[in-house]
Amino acid sequence: MPTQAPHQIVATVAELLDEKAAAKFIDVSPGTLAVWRSTGRYNLPFVKIGRNVRYRRSDLIKWMDGRLCDTGATA
């Protein structure tokens, strides 16, 4: 596993959002995130730190990019 310079680790930690902030970022409720996480409904990565759940902003953006639709049809 490659080591990261200290400033890179700080930048990674700085982009972590708690469940409430992550839910607000993607416009869903924190409960919805909890359900998605427990059921595996969406492949939305998260980080466990003790009992705390955190989401990387970059993962949320990547997940939203993957849900981009080109037509009005829903699937």
The CATH code of the domain that includes 22 is: 1.10.1660
Question: Looking at the predicted structure, is the pLDDT value of residue 43 above 70?
Answer: yes
- How many domains is the chain partitioned into structurally? 1
Determine the Cα–Cα distance for residues 46 and 61; give it in Å rounded to an integer. Answer: 13
Asked if residue 33 is part of any domain, the answer here is yes
Q: Over the chain, what is the mean pLDDT? A: 87
Contact (Cβ atoms closer than 8 angstroms) between residue 60 and residue 17: yes
Asked if residue 12 is part of any domain, the answer here is yes
Asked if residue 23 is part of any domain, the answer here is yes
State the pLDDT confidence band at 28, using cuts at 50, 70 and 90.
very high
Give the pLDDT of residue 70.
83
Give the pLDDT of residue 13.
75
Question: Looking at the predicted structure, is the pLDDT value of residue 45 above 60?
Answer: yes
Contact (Cβ atoms closer than 8 angstroms) between residue 15 and residue 57: yes
Asked if residue 71 is part of any domain, the answer here is no
**Structural domain range at position 35:** 6-65
The DSSP code for 71 is S
Asked if residue 72 is part of any domain, the answer here is no
Residue 10 half-sphere exposure toward CB, CA atoms < 13 A: 3
Three-class DSSP category at 72: coil
**Segment 15-44 mean pLDDT:** 95
